[in-house]
Amino acid sequence: MKYGFVVPNNFGVADPNDVASIGVLAEELGFDSVWVNHHVLNIGYVRDRLENRPYHDALVMLTWLAAHTSRVRLGTSVLVLPYLHPMVLAKELATLDHLSNGRLVVGVGVGSLPEENEALGVPYDTRGAYTNEFLEVMLRLWTQEHATYDGNFFEFEGVMASPKPIQQPHPPIVIGGNKPPALRRVARLGDGWHPLGVSPDGVRERLVTIRAEAAAVEREEVPTEVQVRLELARVTPESSQDYEAAGVTELVMSMSTGGIAEIRDGLEHFAATFFAETPAR
């Protein structure tokens, strides 16, 4: 089992250096990966939690972490693709993959905050179809010298995008979500699944669906990475074993607080429990 931690860039911490220091500490303690959250606006439930306090940018934070770490994988948990444009994001992520020497993991989702879609001027009801095309466009830009695409949202011919990612054929794409459309997206377009709060039994049930969907489209390589995001307090040696037995490859943990000292204590306690026998991971 691998273990990751999500830095609190979404919890109103005034100094972004304090947020990033959690990622550096996670690497020092032996965690396998460091992740960031993504929203654009303080609106809806984000505003309810933060009011006008900072929600620091996901990719800027991840770039800083790339510069100040050397071993951990660096992931997004998750980028809300309907807020973004695939040509711009493909270049940003490919550049970040080079800067991190191939440590990037691209977690993506469709979002669940209609108010943010409305404020950004992007439709909410078609966000799933938009996300599917978004992923197809990025994959073509990353893997084809002269990319062509003809869809409902994007259409272009002979487009060149550079740089290509350092990871070949591209950084792993892990799909967030638990419902049937998300599972179909995992099976057809993802390299892994990145759900929130699913139980071991829930993982087992949904992996059956993912494998069936992959077989339906004759996909030879079934997505293998299964990363469940949980609150740190929910993870014990026993629960970790249950998740591993269900097919989970990584637990990605977070703490619902912006208290930097509290998070540091939580990470250190976790490391003392889980990593004591393997200090060099």
Among 76, 85, 75, which residue's Cα sits nearest to residue 120? 85
The H or E element spanning position 21 is helix 16-29
- Distance of alpha carbon 100 from alpha carbon 30, whole angstroms: 18
Q: Is residue 244 part of a domain?
A: yes
What is residue 278's predicted lDDT score, i.e. its pLDDT?
Answer: 47
Q: 240 is written with which tokens?
A: 């970790």
Q: Is residue 116 part of a domain?
A: yes
- Distance of alpha carbon 67 from alpha carbon 73, whole angstroms: 12
Q: Is residue 279 part of a domain?
A: no
- Distance of alpha carbon 75 from alpha carbon 227, whole angstroms: 11
CATH of the domain at 194: 3.20.20.30
Q: Is residue 141 part of a domain?
A: yes
Q: Is residue 58 part of a domain?
A: yes
Amino acid present at 117: N
Q: Is residue 280 part of a domain?
A: no
Amino acid present at 66: A
What is residue 63's predicted lDDT score, i.e. its pLDDT?
Answer: 98
- Distance of alpha carbon 53 from alpha carbon 38, whole angstroms: 15
What is residue 281's predicted lDDT score, i.e. its pLDDT?
Answer: 44
Q: Is residue 227 part of a domain?
A: yes
- Distance of alpha carbon 92 from alpha carbon 55, whole angstroms: 20
Sheet strands (E) in 115-248:
147-150, 155-159, 173-175, 192-193, 225-231
What is residue 44's predicted lDDT score, i.e. its pLDDT?
Answer: 97
Let me know: does 264 contact 17? Beta carbons within 8 Å.
Answer: no
Cα-Cα-Cα-Cα torsion 184, 81, 154, 188, nearest 10 degrees, comes to -20
Number of domains in the chain: 1
Q: CA 24 → CA 7, 64, 213, distances in Å?
A: 10, 10, 38
pLDDT tens digit string along 128-168? 999 999 999 999 999 999 999 999 999 999 999 999 999 99
Report the 10 Å Cβ neighbour count for 140. Answer: 19
Domain that holds residue 24: 2-274
- Distance of alpha carbon 54 from alpha carbon 174, whole angstroms: 26
Q: Is residue 281 part of a domain?
A: no
Sheet strands (E) in the chain:
2-6, 33-36, 73-76, 79-80, 104-109, 147-150, 155-159, 173-175, 192-193, 225-231, 250-254
Q: Which of the residues in the chain have pLDDT under 50?
A: 278-281
What is residue 171's predicted lDDT score, i.e. its pLDDT?
Answer: 98
What is residue 33's predicted lDDT score, i.e. its pLDDT?
Answer: 98
